Structure formats: C-alpha cells, structure tokens
Structure 1
Amino acid sequence: MANLAPATQEGSTEEDLEYLNEEDVGEVIDDEAGEPMSEDEDENEEGEENQLLLVDDSIQGFFDHRQPVYAVAIHPTQEAIVMTGGGDDKSYLWRADTGEKLFELAQHEDSIIAVGFSADGQFAASGGMDGKVNVFTVATGELVVTLDGPTEITWLNWHPRGNVLLAGTEDGTMWMWQVPSGNCMNVFSGHVDSVSCGQFAPDGKTIVSGSSDGSIIVWDPKTANANLRITGEDARFHNAPITAVAIHHDNQLVLTGAQDGTARLVHIGNGRILASFDNHSDSIEAVGFCRSMPLAATASVDGTISIWDVTGLRLRQSVRHEDAVTQLRWHSSEPIFASASADRTVKVWDARTGECLKTFRGHQETILDFAMTRDGRTIITGSDDGTSLVFSI
C-alpha cells in the first residue's frame, strides 16, 4: 500500500473581532491589512457581495419547487429532458432548453433525495425519505409502480443496461427491484448502519456499497452474496463513516471517501488497499474517476478538491472553492470536471493543470446537486434556494 502524506496547504484564518467599547462598534479588523475597516468599507464589501448574488450566468431555469432541490438527473438520450426532486416532496420532468414543465409527478410523503433515469430512458424514479421509490413512464409521466423500502431511501442507482433499480436505505439494507413489474429481486443485508452510498459497476456485474458503519461491501447482484468486505478492523482502511464511493470504468478499482476527510483506493478483485489519499481536513462529499486519463478526484467540506494520479498514487493538483464542495462530475471523454459548492457557484476545471476554465453564478444559496450532459456543454443544478438552473459551457 502506498501511504501518501497530506500535502501542506496554506489557509487563511479569521481573527477574532474585538469591540473595545461602544464607540468602536463600527470598526472591524481587516484581516489582510491589519488595520481598522470603516463602516463605509464594510458597506462596500457587502455591496460587492450583493452584486455577486445578482450575477446570473444561467440560460434557463425551473422554479416550481419552492423548497430545496436535492436531486437532479438528465435523460440519457434526450438531454433536454430533466428530472428534479426536492424538499417539497415533489419531483418534476421538465425541459432544459425552454424551462417548460412536462409533468408534475406523483408526490411522496417526505423529501425526495434521489432521482434517476433508466439506461434506456424509458423510466424515471424518485426516492424519498418516506421509504418509497416511485417509478414513472417518461413519455407520459404516469406512475408505473411504487416500491416500498423498509426505511428512508438514501440513494438510487439504475442498472447500466437493464430495467433494474437499486436503492440504499437507512436501516443498513439495499433493495433491488425489477421494473416495471416491481418484483423484489434481492435484498442485500450486511451493513449495520445506514447504506450511505453505492452503485452498480459499469458492467453491471458487481455492486459496491458504503456505509455509515465505516465498511464497504462488494456484492454479487444475482445471489446477494458479499464477495468482499472491508471494515475499520483493517487499520489501513477508514475509521469513520463512508460518505462517497465510485467505481472505475475498468470495473476493478473503487475509490471511497469518508467523513474524516480520508480516501482509499481499493482493488475489487483481490481486496488490496492500493493507496491512502489523505489530503483533506474535513468530510469528503464526492469522489470520481476520469475516463480519459488515470486521474481521480476527491471533494471536501473543507472547500478543496484534490486531483490524484491513480497510476503514480500521488497528489497531482489541489483546487479550491470559497466554501464546502458538495458535488463533482467528470466529463465523459475529457480530463475536465465540474464541481458545485456552498459558495453558490459551479466551477469547471482542467484536471491536468488545475486551471479553472469557467465559474457559473446565479444561485442565492448552496448548490446541492447537479448533472452534466455527456458532451459536457450543459450543467443543470439544484439548490437550497428552491431553483434549478441551466448553464451552458
């Protein structure tokens, strides 16, 4: 195992504000200059912040949710069709090119935290904190079947080829259903806490799940047998809840991220922990592999994104947002990725150089999720401000 030491990063620290007496209430310390800042200067900074909030780089939007938009998905073949779900217990199908609402879909009894399209685009699914998964026909918006999980749904993932749907739940189990029949094909039981993340491998022959109990399990979808289990009992692995997982397109490598800011590169076939990617000071929220180069990325609440050389097992670049990074997505065929943040921006990066190619503004609150078209030219976001915006690169 290659154990990589954290890279040294320079970070700014906030000095405590000191109010000496009532007459000095209007003065605060300017961190950079070390000099008192007048009320006028303070107002100027607030004005600049307000001006940034007024900047809107979006070309279209959808505004029916009225509550935080937690999940976004783009149709696999008709990329103008978008699905969003949110804190209003509702999901919608709408058009990214016009902002037109196509269908308001059958409502859940609690927030919708996951949405997704089947591989052929015929069906769309929403997963809710009410423990239910609703499946719809995309062409009509008709509810096809409601699938009952035992507890709150934590994520959804469609099989990469067939109409089979996988969901993780809060009670530590995963459920796999056939669509449209709704038949339960398998229940996967092995974690002792919430299944926080998981997905089919690109070839559909393996499932990898991560849990708040600090373990990952590699499953056989046909038998529900656990082929590999790695826990914190292995001192080389995570000793904290798993928050994110990604499977390499070769179906052999898994990248995991944890609440303590650590990441691990694991070989599915032999269970070897190949590398410890430890460069963050706070929880990792998203991980992913580049398809065109041997690169991977980890994104953290500490505001940084680390770009790793998967072959050399070393840190290649580190880039930064102004606040927590909530999500990242790689381009389907280029060494480019996009990231979303609590700083209300989406940024597009060149992974080879760490250069920020584009910054998109328009949201008033944290961006919670986003999806990107296969050609990388369009990004669609969901935000705490209750809106979904469309950005064109």
Structure 2
Amino acid sequence: MRENTPPRVNEIEDDDAEEIIFANDVPPDDDELEMEEITMEELEARYGYLSDVEENTEGRFSQSPERDDAILTFMKHKSAVFGCSLHPTRPLAATGGEDDRAYVWNINTCEVMLEITEHKDTVTDVHFSYDGTYLATGDMAGELFVHKLQESESGPQLTLRKVWEFSMGDMTWMCWHRAANVLMAGSENGEVYVWRIPSGDCKILPGEGVRCGVADLTGDGKRLFVGYTNGAVKLWDLKSCTVVMEVDAQNPMAQQTVILSVACEKDSPFYAAGAADGKIVFCTNSGPVGAVEADGSVEYLAFPPSNDLKIVASGTLQGQIAIWDYTKYNLRTLCDHTFVEGDNSNKFQGGITRLKWLSDHTLMAATMDGNVIAFDARSGARKFTLEGHMAEIYEMCYNPHENILLTVSEDHRAKIFNIPQLGD
C-alpha cells in the first residue's frame, strides 16, 4: 500500500502503538553499533519464518475462497479496489483502485471495454451518471475525468470518449446528482465543487480550511448535507451556494469528533450525521432535534427507500448494526452478525464498512471479513449471507432491476452476486 492510499479500516488505530524507550535514554556506543556481516542466504536461513510470513501475506489473495457465492469475479486489478458502479441500463460495471487504474467491463463476460490509465494516484471513486450517459473517475490527488458512452460509428459496439477533465487538489469524495448531469466533489480544505457536465461550468461551496469528508444529496436534489472533520455539519443550497442549516461547536448538540457518515431521508427534510465517537445527531432544516449513541465509530448511515417505519440504520467499526426509531430517538432493533452463520468456532466477522437497503424491510451490510449479510430490519434476523471475498469490502453497488450486487475489496477483486428472492 502506497503512502497516499486511504487507510485500511483495521489500520486506523496504528497511531495508538506503544512508544519504545531505551532504558535510561543512554545511546549505544560505537562498538555496539557494529553489525555482523552476513549474506542474504544466511539472513533468510536465520529468519526464514519472517520470509514465510511475508510470502503468506502477499500470496493470501492468490488462493480461492473456501466458499464463493459470486456468479462472476473480475480480477484485472493488481491491488485493492475502492470504487465501483453499475450502469443503470447496460450490462456494464466500472471499478477503480490502488493500482491507479479504472476499468469498464462487461458484467456477463468480464471483457474490458476501457482501461483508464491517466490517473497517477489511487482511484477512489468511479460513478456512472444517473442516466448512464457519462462515467466519472477520480483519484486521491484530485484528478477527475469524465468519459461519455456512445455507440461506435462503425457499428453497435459501445465506446467511451473523454469529454472533460479537471485537477482540483486532494479529493475526499465525488458523486453525481440524481437527476442531472451535475458532478460534485469535496476537498481537503473544505470546498465543494459543483460542475455542469460536459460544459464544465462550476460553482464552489466555500470551505474554512477543514476537511470535507462526507456528503449526501437530499431527496429533492436541491440541497447537499455535508460533514466535516471538526464535527460540524452544513446543509447547503446548491442554487444559491448558501448554508441554510449548520450545527457547529457553538451548538450544545454538536458532535465533538470527526463526522464519518451522513444521510438524507428521501421524502422529508430529515438528516442524520454519525461521528467517530459513536454519536448520531438528527437534524431538520431548523437544526438538530435529537441524538443517539451507537457502539463505536459510525462508518455508515442509511435510510430505507420509502420510510413508513421512520427508521435509520447505522453500522460501526466495532460491528454493531443498529436500527434506530428517529421519532423517539431510541434503539428499535439490533442485527446480530457477530459470528459466522453456522460456524461453531464463533469467528468474529469484523466491523461494518457499508450498508445498503434492498427494500423497506431488508438491510444489507458489508463487513471487514469480506461477507455481505442481509437482515430483516423489523426483527434483526439474518436473511442470507453472500461470501466470496477474502478481505474487507470497501464499496458495493446494487441494481434493483437486475437484482444484482457489485462489490469491491482489499483482495484486489470485484464480484457480481445474484440477490436471493426476499419474499418481503
């Protein structure tokens, strides 16, 4: 993993490692610094077990998983894969990763249609536009490219042509508008860029030098709910580029740690923000209205498609999947995913990296253990488990029309799964 790559979830606490101090702080003398000269063969023979560990670490993804429920596996990436997207109408997927590559490929054959090689840093975001006309890719250094999908002049073959590019400095997130060819991206200094594609006309939501880490678009597409690393959240009006609601340090309900996740309720002006200390704050257009405490850092928040139950789901790095009643601001259900289904060894499945609602009653969770697990949100009971990845899942994308799921992982792979019939 290179220096600029997003930290793995299980590396977040590396800074807490104990400091090593020499006894009495006495530096060794020159004689003690003399080193024995040995050959590489002697070194490998003496510490052969270390070489074995390194080889096992490097080679662990070359093996096949014990169980693989995927109907197709894409293996062109040479390193971790962070971003993915499914085309809304065509059998196409796009993926991007630590190898500085983005691919567009056929989800039935794995045939590569386009390899984007212009990125010079880890590709963290790849997204088809709402109607599938464009594909946007972005890397950590802030190099953004948009390609247009079009029929080839010589026949029915589909081609992709680059129509726009931009260099914005370090990028933290990127997404398309849900109903227009408008691309948005956040930056390390807190600015949010809003472009009309392909003209490139740009608006900037100003920052204050604080990293803008996460954002979500409101259901009507007119406002953007943004979370910052200083614990503040802002609701921006995209037309006027003004803040219409803000919760900052002066508000007694404000979060005190980094905002890791935000979500907007689809059909009403209701918002949720989750922080590293486990606090989830609920807001309306007027400001914060309630809060709950999750068990661990809130990696993801998600409202159901149509929210008759008035609930929101949270997933934490410590492994809690909670369903909250936001009318009473209390816990409704806990989904038990702690141990592997049917495994008597009680192997812990790790933290939650992503959540996705399949319906108003069925919630999917991606784990650090590489599984996708679906739950009945009313009872917390497990519905099904999809296995196949050998490391943490970083992103997943669902196509409800085809009932398929695309996942990408630290194990260098992208996988396509058929979703079982739910019977809700």
TM range (shorter): 0.7 to 0.9
The two structures have a TM-score, normalised by structure 1, of: 0.82
- Residue equivalent to 1:22: none
Partner in structure 2 of residue 146 of structure 1? 165
Who is 1:179 aligned against?
Answer: 197
* Structure 2 residue 78 is the aligned partner of structure 1 residue 60: no
Match of 2:269 in 1: 252
Q: Does 1:324 align with 2:351?
A: yes
- Whole-Å Cα distance in 2 between the matches of residues 381 and 158 of structure 1? 19
Runs ≥4 residues deviating over 6 A = none
The Cα RMSD (Å) is: 1.7
2:302 corresponding residue in structure 1: 288
Q: In 1, Cα distance between the equivalents of 2:161 and 2:401? A: 29
- Tell me how far apart the structure 2 counterparts of residues 363 and 240 of structure 1 sit (CA, whole Å): 32
User: Aligned residue for 1:10?
Assistant: none
2:377 corresponds to 1:351: yes
Residue by residue over 1:49-81, the C-alpha shift from the partner in whole angstroms, topping out at 9 and shown as x without a partner, is: xx9942111110111111111011112233x32
Alignment partner of 2:141 out of 130, 134, 149 = 130
Specify the code of the residue in structure 2 equivalent to 1:379.
L
In structure 2, the CA distance between the partners of 1:143 and 1:317, relative to structure 1 (3 Å rule), is: same
- Kept after mapping to 2: 8 A contact 1:105/1:141: no
Report if the CA contact (8 A) 1:115-1:125 is conserved: yes
Q: What does residue range 188-199 of structure 1 map to in structure 2 within 5 Å? A: 188-199=205-216
Of 59, 66, 69, 2:81 maps to 69
Tell me the amino acid that sits aligned with residue 320 of structure 2.
T
Structure 1 Cα separation of the partners of residues 74 and 258 of structure 2: 34
Give the aligned residue type for 2:351.
A
2:154 aligns with none
How far apart are residue 191 of structure 1 and its match?
4.0
Give the Cα separation in 1 of the matches to 2:274 and 2:401.
27
2:222 pairs, out of 205, 212, 228, with 205
Letter matched to residue 111 of structure 1: T
Structure 1 counterpart of 2:123: 112
Corresponding residue to 1:81 among 70, 73, 92: 92
Q: Using the TM superposition, name which of 134-143 and 248-257 deviates more.
A: 134-143
Give per-residue Cα distances to partners, 1:101-137, cap 9 Å, x unaligned.
2211243110011111111110010111111111111
Cα deviation for residue 313 of structure 1 reads 2.6
Alignment of 1:327-342 (within 5 A): 327-331=354-358, 333-342=359-368
Among 307, 316, 319, which residue is 2:323 paired with?
A: 307
What do the CA deviations read for 1:158-180 (whole angstroms, capped 9, x no partner)? 11111110101112111011101
Deviation for aligned residue 1:251: 4.2
| Secondary structure at 2:93 match in 1 | strand
**1:25: which partner in 2?**
none
Asked whether the equivalents of residues 209 and 216 of structure 1 are also in contact (C-alpha less than 8 Å), the reply is yes
**How far is 1:375 from its partner?**
4.5
Shift in Å, 1:262: 1.4
Using the TM superposition, give the Cα deviation of residue 227 of structure 1 relative to its aligned residue in structure 2, in angstroms. Answer: 1.4
Q: Look up the SS of the partner of 1:147 in the other structure.
A: strand
Once the two structures are TM-superposed, the CA of residue 195 in structure 1 deviates from its matched residue by 0.7
- 2: CA distance, partners of 1:82 / 1:327: 19
Instruction: Tell me which amino acid in the other structure corresponds to 1:380.
Output: L
- Count how many residue pairs are aligned between Structure 1 and Structure 2: 336
Alignment partners' CA distance in 2, 1:363 and 1:81: 21
After TM superposition, the structure 1 stretch with the greater mean CA deviation from structure 2, 313-322 or 108-117, is 313-322
Cα distance, 1:334 vs structure 2: 3.2
* Superposition map of 1:38-49 within 5 A: none
SS of alignment partner, residue 160 of structure 2: coil
Question: Deviations for 1:136-170, whole angstroms, at most 9, x for unmatched residues?
Answer: 11332221111221x21111121111111010111
Q: 1:106 to 1:138 in 2, by over 3 A?
A: farther
1:220 is the counterpart of 2:237: yes
| 2-structure distance, mates of 1:161, 1:377 | 22
Query: Match for 1:102 among 91, 113, 119?
Result: 113
Deviation at 1:390, TM superposition (A): 1.0
Q: Secondary structure of the equivalent of 1:353?
A: coil
- Match of residue 37 from structure 1: none
- Say whether residues 1:163 and 2:181 are aligned partners: yes
Structure 1 unaligned runs (5+)?
1-50
One-letter identity of the residue aligned with 1:347: I
Identity of aligned residues (%): 30
Paired position in structure 2 for 1:237: 254
The answer as to whether partners of 1:106 and 1:143 remain within 8 angstroms in 2 is no
> Does 2:273 align with 1:262?
no
**Which residue of the partner structure matches residue 3 of structure 2?**
none
2: CA distance, partners of 1:357 / 1:94: 30
Q: Which amino acid aligns with 1:326?
A: T
Structure 2, unaligned runs of 5 or more: 1-62, 151-158, 339-348, 420-424
d(CA) in 1 for partners of 2:369 and 2:402? Answer: 22
> Under a length normalisation based on structure 2, what TM-score does the superposition of the two structures give?
0.76
CA contact (8 A) 1:299 1:305 kept: yes
Tell me if structure 2 keeps the 8 A contact 1:105–1:143: no
Q: How far apart, CA to CA, are the structure 1 residues paired with 2:381 and 2:64?
A: 21
